[in-house]
Structure 1
Amino acid sequence: MVQVLPALDAGGVEQGTVELARYLVAHGHRSIVIAAGGRMAEQLRREGSEHIDWPIGRKRFSTLKYVPRLRRLLEEIRPDILHLRSRLPAWIAWLAWRRMDPATRPHLVTTVHGAYTPGRYSAIMMRGERVIAPSGMIRDYILEHYPDVDPQKIRVIHRGVSREKYPYGYRPDQAWLEAWYKQYPQTRDRLLLTLPGRLTRIKGQEHFIEIIAELKSRGMPVHGLLVGEASEAKKSYEAELRDMVRAMGLEADITFTGHRTDLKEIMAISHVVLSLTLVPESFGRTTLEALSLGRPVIGYGHGGVGEQLREIYPQGLVQVGDKDNVISMISSCAVCASLPQGRS
């Protein structure tokens, strides 16, 4: 199988790509990933996949040069499946694939990872011989905005997490705890609330800051963690968030951790993990990871997160934007919440 995506940096698409690649290798298949490099490239190669480092998601005219290169590559390696995971790389790959011999070219599979802006550009993700929807919400999106798509070729395959990697009741070891509290002593002996995700306007970080402020005003010993970084294009938004924290006097109560590779451990010591995304997401991986660890999740009830919570943890559902309900739920839980086990 050949998987195609923009880059191998942190994110749900990248994580899913690496996990599928690992599975393919473990079961004796050849796994090739075409993407620019990134944080996860070394792991991909270490786990046995081949990485072709092409910036195939770069939004410039010169990216078209990869159309004939990719066609030649596919004709040479003759994969069974070509799996497209993002729009611009999908266009490049489709242009290469469509000129190949239909009798010998690979089967074309696409995964619609988000509710893209409807239109011709996004329609490329519907051209797979099979179209994977990671949630019922995405299947509905496809059928609503692309009525010409045959419903029979859509496959709803819910994303998942490994129970071995995210075991119920997991607690970090003492060495990790000591290192954490040395770096972030302000989080010790606090009701720890965590919002994982990239720093973008749709992820709800402003709501999170306002929730922390209200809980503090009620005298609750809370501390908020914003776990994630801003892309270069979003650095100004990160500055806005930091200004907001300063203006509300919350510098000691909210920590920006930036990108972390130990999110499992952070969620495991958190009392509540939140998902406050303002637009529906196709999946919401961290929600399922936290629930697998046994940590309570409070989330806005739409998209993939809403589907997960309704099925697994309905007591964590709130209406989109209902900050008052989030505050009420945390307040009522806090009375009986114990501090993380094994703290140093």
Structure 2
Amino acid sequence: MTSIDAAARALRVLVVHPAADLYGSDRVLLESVQALLDRGDQVAVALPRPGPLVDQLRGRGALVEFCPTPVLRKSLLSPAGLLGLAVEASRGLYRGAALLRRYRPDALYVSTVTIPLWPLLGRLARVPTITHVHEAERHDARPLRVALALPLLLAHRIIANSLFTASTLEESLPALRGRARVLYNGVQGPAAPEPARTSLDGGLRVVYVGRLSHRKGVDVAVEAVAQLRRRGVPATLDLVGDVVPGKEDFGRKLHERVAELGLAADVTFHGFHPNMWSFLAAADVAVVPARLNESFGNTAVEAVLAARPLVVSGTSGLREAAAGFASVQFTPPGDVAAVADALERVARDWDTFRAAAALDAAAAVERHAPATYRRGIAGFITAAARREARDQVPWPALEAAVPGTAE
């Protein structure tokens, strides 16, 4: 095969991801896979277990494999957790190496730093490896941040989803300085945003979309709505999302707090929904009150794309995601009074915020266009891929590549 033929042929890309949910990083993963499929590449995705992401991937034409892999979480920082991590790593090392031998990919795309085994496997298999960093845990202890960043030294290319993420990597591990390239997430909005209400009959409808967790500040949203109502501003709150597995106690306490505040009739828990657009369409304003640093902020962008005013923590990647929009108000993380003040301003000056949000939606469509992201991610992976001819081993058939059950 000539070098021209090798450069022109479709790539074989093995993609690895730590979960099969449909939250922010999972949706970015879908955009990355779609970018490769649109280019004509052959894509297989390795996931640790089944979930709603699987049908989305298969529906687009990607193969799906279930492969055990250690996923770094703070809950593992205990003797029992570290033992479990070691066991999972040994299983993942064997199965991951087997997948690489089977698929013989031109490139390995690792969609997060929380699965550190894969950059090592990529190096051992001599496969060009691209790691996409969606985490910016600058609030964590330095040893933990260094441990998360170390596997990136094995990656051939590093993509960061924001300037904040890239700077966090460099601060954590100076050896990574200058290695990350920033590519903002592409976020697909509704085909046509539902126009906001012309009047706030029945009170201000507030919506929160995301994980129900302390770090995401969902309790701040609850307290702010309670404070708003005490000020005489009628308001309701819709919570769209579920707790992190293993953190069910937070969800229970959140329900109890809602009852204590007398908001049982005004705060609705909807649980997880893969399509959040109907909830944003029914709302007047969205809140993203994260307490801790966020690497980017897809939920913030989604609110703007839905043509809804946004109240968001003015920190980290959230500021990058939502900067420059007239209908967005930034508040200090964890500041209940500031969130309540911002929501009250929306209620008091609804016509102004409503008109600004409609204009912001049009600007956000251009700024965060999925097509722009897809071109960028496909370009990064193509540039990193080994382009010389490989042995012509057939790409595994769909039937053989999709086990019926996870291990």
When the two structures are superposed, what TM-score results if normalisation uses the length of structure 1? 0.85
- Structure 1 counterpart of 2:60, one-letter code: E
Other structure's SS at 1:223 match = strand
Give the conservation status (yes or no) of the 8 Å contact 2:312–2:330. Answer: yes
Equivalent AA in structure 1 for residue 15 of structure 2: Q
Deviation at 1:127, TM superposition (A): 3.1
| Alignment partner of 1:161 is 2:187 | yes
CA shift, 1:167, in A, is 4.2
Contact 1:6–1:89 (8 Å) recurs in 2:
yes
Match of 2:129 among 90, 95, 108: 108
RMSD: 2.3
Q: How does 1:8-157 map to 2 (within 5 A)?
A: 8-35=20-47, 36-57=49-70, 60=85, 61-87=87-113, 89-91=115-117, 93-100=118-125, 105-116=126-137, 117-151=144-178, 153-157=179-183
Q: For 1:253 and 1:78, how far apart are their aligned partners in 2? A: 55
Partner residue of 2:388?
none
- Aligned match of 1:265: 278
The correspondence of residues 251-262 of structure 1 with structure 2, limited to 5 A, is 251-262=264-275
Q: Say which structure, 1 or 2, has more relative contact order (CA 8 Å, 6+ apart).
A: 2
Q: How far apart are the structure 1 equivalents of 2:350 and 2:326?
A: 18
Unpaired runs of 5+ residues, structure 1, are: 173-186
Q: Which amino acid aligns with 1:34?
A: A
> What are structure 2's unaligned runs of at least 5 residues?
1-12, 72-83, 138-143, 355-407
Preserved contact between residue 68 and residue 96 of structure 1 (Cα < 8 Å): no
Q: Using a 3 Å threshold, how does the CA distance of structure 1 residues 169 and 62 change in structure 2: closer, same or farther? A: closer
> Bigger shift: 308-317 or 11-20?
308-317
Question: What SS class does the counterpart of residue 145 from structure 2 fall into?
Answer: coil
Residue-by-residue CA offset, 1:159-199 (whole Å, 9 max, x unaligned): 1212xx43453369xxxxxxxxxxxxxx9944110111111
Corresponding residue of 1:177: none
Counterpart residue type for residue 130 of structure 2 = V
Whether 1:7 and 2:19 are equivalent positions in the alignment is yes
Q: Match for residue 176 of structure 1?
A: none
> How many aligned positions are there?
317
The answer to whether the Cα contact below 8 Å between 2:70 and 2:92 also exists between their aligned partners in 1 is: no
CA distance in 1, matches of 2:341, 2:277: 26
Q: Is residue 229–residue 259 contact of structure 1 (8 Å, CA) maintained in 2?
A: yes
Distance 1:150 1:278 in 2: 27
Q: Deviations over 1:320-339 (max 9, x none)?
A: 2333232222212213437x
Q: Secondary structure at the match of 1:281?
A: coil
Q: What is the distance in 1 between the residues matched to 2:156 and 2:34?
A: 24
Relative to the length of structure 2, the TM-score reads: 0.72
Deviation at 1:131, TM superposition (A): 1.0
Matches within 5 A, 1:309-320: 309-313=322-326, 315-320=328-333
1:170 aligns with 2:183: no
Q: Deviations over 1:182-239 (max 9, x none)?
A: xxxxx99441101111111101122111111111112222101111101331110001
Matches for 1:207-286 after TM superposition, within 5 Å: 207-286=220-299
Identity score, percent: 26
**Take 2:238 and 2:163, find their aligned partners in 1: how far apart are those partners?**
30
- Residue identity opposite 2:95 in structure 1: R
Q: Would the alpha carbon gap of residues 167 and 317 (structure 1) be closer, same or farther in structure 2, given more than 3 Å must change? A: farther
Query: Separation in 2 of the partners of 1:285 and 1:236?
Result: 26
Shift of 1:69: 3.1
Give distance in 1, aligned partners of 2:203 and 2:307: 19
**Deviating more after overlay: 310-319 vs 130-139:** 310-319
Question: Does the aligned pair in 2 maintain the 1:191–1:221 contact within 8 Å?
Answer: yes
